[in-house]
Chains A and B, each alone.
Chain A
């Protein structure tokens, strides 16, 4: 049923696109609306058909989650932007290898984790500072509580940055991206049990690191 709908969408675009009036690199609002209505698999097929605009839609859908994943690895906006761009560019180049066994989001996460783990050295000093932390809210918590919260956030980021690669990836995907264990296993190419074990060890090491910091 879904495949049939996707096929119809592709056919519709196959007929529709040659007549699309493209101006200044953009597409009409009607065609943009059609693209927005397509699911990810359909967008991939349209893109492979030579329509780069479909990839723009893919980027628009997943850019925030990919950016946040990268940000969790590097802790700096500029680096996260560079890594995110790299992730999407690699995805575009390897788009034909996307077979649809997993969701496009899972596939992008897999590319993102690989890019981040390869480009961010384990020994890289985590650059997060208090300035990078979330701003203090005007109301609600007191200023002292807010400062303590931000300080703890910085310690957590530094401790996460020191975790072994797979543990770090698992923790980020589970705690920060809130992905289910099965999807994490698919992203990391492990079993669900191994993903859970990685999370267990990551949390144990995190606890150890944070407790050690507090003792100093």
Chain B
């Protein structure tokens, strides 16, 4: 007979092995030693009785579990069943559907809100000569409005080459602040003048 396999050894330890297995365990030195070694470790382990829980610990456990359970949703409620996945016909992908829909709706709402922030009503009053209010020009950006490009160029020139010249301080952004300090009418007039300047055929920056 071959040597005992692990399951046979455990059966011998449990005392429920067949006669052939028991006979081999008694006659084979190697298997007998193995059984004896494992019997020793079983006895050592079993000798550790563990600690009895302190007095009143079990009642405390019941109280703690009871409190936690009463705060939890009823395991028989439909949404608890849905959440735990035990509702027949609902697998994990179907359970993800409402959550995914909620995420999509949130993203759409956030996108709409973000777009809305760029569409504030301009403060400008009367618009002279059909020219857009200065603030709208500023919002639309340099790639759209030529007049803004001129102002930016002037500001850059002042900052780089004439730091002490004129009434403008020689710092970057000074022209922007100067434009901001103008009244609505003055800004409209400035925009008109700049546009007229640009319309001249020999205008250069």
Contacts and interface: CB of A to CB of B under 8 A. Distances in A.
Interface of A: 25, 47-50, 52, 55-56, 59-60, 63-64, 67-68, 71-72, 77, 80-81, 84-85, 88-89, 92-97, 132-134, 149, 152-153, 156-157, 160, 171, 175-176, 181, 193, 196-197, 199-201, 203-204, 206-207, 210
A106 to B, nearest CB: 19
A81 B68 CA distance: 13
Contacts, number: 142
26 contacts: A52-B69, A63-B65, A67-B53, A68-B53, A77-B57, A81-B57, A81-B61, A84-B61, A85-B64, A92-B65, A92-B69, A93-B80, A94-B75, A94-B84, A94-B86, A97-B86, A134-B51, A153-B49, A156-B44, A175-B45, A181-B10, A193-B7, A200-B6, A200-B7, A204-B41, A206-B44
A93 B47 contact: no
A89 B69 contact: yes
Contact of B62 (A48, A60, A157, A175): A60
A71 B61 contact: no
Contacts of B58: 63-64, 67
Closest 4 CB pairs of A and B: A200-B6, A207-B41, A153-B48, A96-B86
Interface string B62-76: 101110111010111
Given A77-B53, A196-B7, 9 more contacts: A48-B76, A64-B58, A67-B58, A71-B50, A77-B51, A84-B61, A85-B61, A133-B51, A207-B38
Interface string B87-116: 000000000000000000000000000000
A55 B86 contact: no
Interface of B: 6-7, 9-11, 37-38, 40-42, 44-54, 57-58, 60-62, 64-66, 68-70, 72, 74-76, 80-81, 84-86
